[in-house]
Structure 1
């Protein structure tokens, strides 16, 4: 049996994308994405929890992010979870889980030039 690694999120950017260009002219964008969930307790009081996700976009999606995404932008994102690790100077191993974006849909309704609907 084969596995499935798929993540679907709708949320807002916590900051402008951090875009860099690597060797071979490969663009990479990194940003945090907030997803919120609201519910009511037994007394009827509303509560909201927010989860923060680390997102990485490559190549064309990174360029799209650089051109159109800003802090607060609302996006639909599909991708996969990827966990990597690194050792710091003291030799302590750290694990980082990121979402590698594979499809991005801009959900903001803004006037002016409209970006492509999805990549």
Structure 2
């Protein structure tokens, strides 16, 4: 049960290219967003899709993978843990941010789709 404490698993599409940051000790950080979609039906039978946005934080090797391979729109699955941090903006207001620190990353985009994307980039 210990492995279940603060464990998050999500699958969705990236909402932006990763933003990279390099620290003095050559440690890399990548930040991006992930959209997960839930499809449901209304009382009248109409199909509705609800999107939830999640902030992802990737460190070290995962950040390097993100920098090389992840682009907006790519479908991925992640496993990680929830963290909450706070910061004060320039106007003195305190903000709270919930993020998922990614432990494992799986790229789901199919090979055929990836080949089409590479061909489109080459043009």
2:109 aligns to what SS in structure 1?
coil
Q: Shift of residue 23 of structure 1?
A: 1.5
1-structure distance, mates of 2:111, 2:78: 19
TM-score (norm 2): 0.85
Which runs of structure 2 are paired with 1:80-99 in the superposition (5 Å)? Answer: 80-99=81-100
Tell me the equivalent position of 2:107. 106
Alpha-carbon distance in structure 1 between the residues aligned to 2:95 and 2:19: 21
Query: Offset of 1:88 from its aligned partner?
Result: 2.1
If each structure's helix is expressed as a fraction of its own residues, which one has the higher value? 2
| Equivalent position of 2:51 in the other structure | 50
Structure 2, unaligned runs of 5 or more: 116-123
* Equivalence map 1:1-119=2 (5 Å): 4-111=5-112
Hey, what's the Cα distance between the residues in 2 that align with 1:110 and 1:21? 30
The Cα of 1:87 is off from its aligned counterpart by 1.6
* 1:15 alignment partner, SS class: coil
Count of matched residue positions in the alignment of Structure 1 and Structure 2: 113
CA RMSD of aligned residues (A): 1.9
Q: Structure 1: any 5+ residue segments left out of the alignment? A: 114-119
